[in-house]
Chain A
Amino acid sequence: MNVRFFFLCIALIGMAHADARPKLELQCVSIGEGPALECTARLQNANGEPIKTATVTLAAHMPSMPMAHSIKPVVAVATNHPGEYRTQLELEMPGVWAIQVDLSAPNRDRFIRRMQVERCEKGKRCPALATSLTTSKP
């Protein structure tokens, strides 16, 4: 039997455990008509300290078109600011996109943020707004 699968089976009967999660702040701007989406992720640990050694990958998909429009994962590069990572996603069209931020180090984690991405004028940068379709519980 595959050893990994054996351990997975063991994990299946185990109960979940929770560690303190890092905090993510995600800001994106759409560039040009494409539109390309430049995203900056700022990561902090539970104590509020920047996470400097993270491996961050960004991907995106359109929730309104399941499996149809998805952007391949792109590795984000650390900027000069500690705990800040940046990359660019080449989106296929404007609209509401779910931006997926994956951390593979120091701990694995995943964050999803929905963004309303608008088509921009050529050469201009427009902020992509985080969307919440409902503001409060009815």
Chain B
Amino acid sequence: MSAEHAVGLASDMGIMALLALSAYLLLLVGRISFGQQAFFGIGAYVSGIASAMAHWPLSIALFAGMLVGALASCLLALPTMPLSGLHYAVATFAFGEMVRVGLQAWYFQQETSDGPVGPAGLDGFRDIRWLLENDVSPSQYLVLIAAVLAIVLLAFAWLERRRLGVALRMTGHDDVLAATQGLAVTRLRLVAATTAGALAALGGGLYAHRATYIEPALFDPMLGVHAVSYALIGGLGTCLGPLLGVAFDLGLLEATRVFAGWRMVVFGLLVALFLRWRQRGLLDEALVHRFTQLFRARTQASR
């Protein structure tokens, strides 16, 4: 594998990990979303417009994408959170498709010396060239993606040790019981959905600048299904689970290149067999508990 390809693959893994973490956060509160690709797409388009058309710096463009992604997710969550799990999944799927079809019909272009720039319906949005114009190399961009991901993972690790983290998990395990314990279940789910939208949009913004080209077809339901599978394959026991799921998923995709056009078929079969073997994913709650106990025993023994 060439260094260039390895850097590209690692960057994709970092970006997909953000999308997987957004699906993971919703799974924690007991909601399966098949619409996270919509917020990924919204983040990609908004941050692309901000940097390629408004010429904002990358950091502000990414933040703008996150903000709009969070707002869209919050607005979707307000009417859909009272729905049951299955109905919520269908509602998010429908929203994802609505956004994709909306992007297919959306034209918002600006004339430049190099031709028109901006969303052009089905033809997508080309020339999101901030990295090229500012001479940021792919390996430098990988460092940035890794830094963003590390900050997000640290935030998750911090959250999971706090009351809010426990409350989110309680909501996911049994919302009726959580409500009887005095937890504001709907508000917790709203916070989780808004944050998940922001995370997916951040991933989308990073993706748009890496690829320089986005189009509505990229944000189809397949991406949303993959986001949920990353979290399920990696395991729901810890925030490292989705990261592991992404590495497993993209690693397996790379390893099955030999099957060429049949790669996705073989890949799907392998994932199905894997989930038959480990239904709660690689890093499930039991394994995380075992690791924690082992770590505690060693710490106590060393004292």
Q: Which residues of A contact B (CB under 8 A)?
A: 2, 4-5, 7-8, 11-21, 57, 63-69, 72-73, 92-93, 98, 100, 108-110, 112, 114, 132-134, 137-138
B295 at the interface (CB under 8 A from A): no
A112 — which chain B residues lie within 8 A by C-beta?
Answer: 126, 212-213
CA distance A16 to B48 in the complex (A): 13
B217 at the interface (CB under 8 A from A): yes
Query: 1/0 per residue B1-16: CB within 8 Å of A?
Result: 1101100100010001
Do B134 and A68 have beta carbons less than 8 Å apart?
A: no
**Closest Cβ neighbor of A95 among chain B residues:** B261
**Closest Cβ neighbor of A75 among chain B residues:** B2
CA distance A137 to B108 in the complex (A): 10
**Closest Cβ neighbor of A112 among chain B residues:** B213
Main SS at interface, chain B:
helix
Chain A nearest CB from B12 CB (Å) reads 6
A5 — which chain B residues lie within 8 A by C-beta?
Answer: 140, 143-144, 147
Q: Which residues of B contact A (CB under 8 A)?
A: 1-2, 4-5, 8, 12, 16, 51, 55, 57-59, 105, 107, 109, 113-114, 120-124, 126, 129-130, 132-137, 139-141, 143-144, 147, 212-213, 215, 217-220, 222-223, 226, 250, 253, 260-261, 263-264, 267
Do B121 and A133 have beta carbons less than 8 Å apart?
A: yes
Do B2 and A73 have beta carbons less than 8 Å apart?
A: yes
Chain B nearest CB from A120 CB (Å) reads 15
Do A12 and B58 have beta carbons less than 8 Å apart?
A: yes
Main SS at interface, chain A:
loop
6 new A-B contacts, CB < 8 A, other than A11-B135, A72-B1, are A12-B57, A15-B57, A17-B134, A73-B4, A110-B212, A134-B122
Do B4 and A57 have beta carbons less than 8 Å apart?
A: yes
Chain B nearest CB from A61 CB (Å) reads 9
B57's partner among A14, A17, A73, A134 (CB-CB below 8 A) is A14
CA distance A14 to B55 in the complex (A): 10
B213 — which chain A residues lie within 8 A by C-beta?
Answer: 98, 100, 112
B226 — which chain A residues lie within 8 A by C-beta?
Answer: 67
